[in-house]
Chain A
């Protein structure tokens, strides 16, 4: 079922805070794309990733070639963020006027904000910054949906569902089902599918144009 990519290669960054299921999201997404016949290169750093720091996976999708596991600066096409300010952090380095952003609205305050040394932007400020430095953006409350499903970490799967909803990539529910049969134990598949569907539903067919 080889379909075409929006761009060759398509560069994607999945970002969040340690412990949010960033690495898992990148694996599932990459698996779906490999099943569809693409060559995928993922670059990620973990090891210290669970210690509350920023986490980032670089996903590069090509119809033919292996790429550098690090996306060159300014060359991301899609940014998926499990935390909204992490989206900004990535955009500042890897964004460009054509980049699309899908962000979870749930904020996780860095230590320096908790202690009062730094301030954190409000949701409205984040939204307005998205408008200024991206071509398209979506912000959804994935964590609340995941909490309703009784597991906050499922917000990563809600985001993958939402990504499918944006039609930015050639992925759909069937591709997700096919992948999780390989990677997620049978008992947990149903709740993952629910999370995926909930995410897909959260995307209105109304991308905000610049």
Chain B
């Protein structure tokens, strides 16, 4: 990638990213939030985490080449669910997830 191409990517992607990150908060800040809006904001965490998890774990046709090893991420995810429910710790969840994933791929 040349420097010209690099600058194009950095400036445009960077500007879009900064706008997406800051404009909604700056717009809402200092205004009285209507109850319906603050309720909607409260639904963002479960919806966003569910979307991120689904994006990582699910894709159409994932089992086209057979159940195994395609199911490895799903089984590892189950291990993480158990560890997360028990410990509520991000660190332990990440360690357990990576270990389970690596072990399942090895067998």
A binds B: no
Give me the interface of B with A, judged by CB distance under 8 Å: none
Give me the interface of A with B, judged by CB distance under 8 Å: none
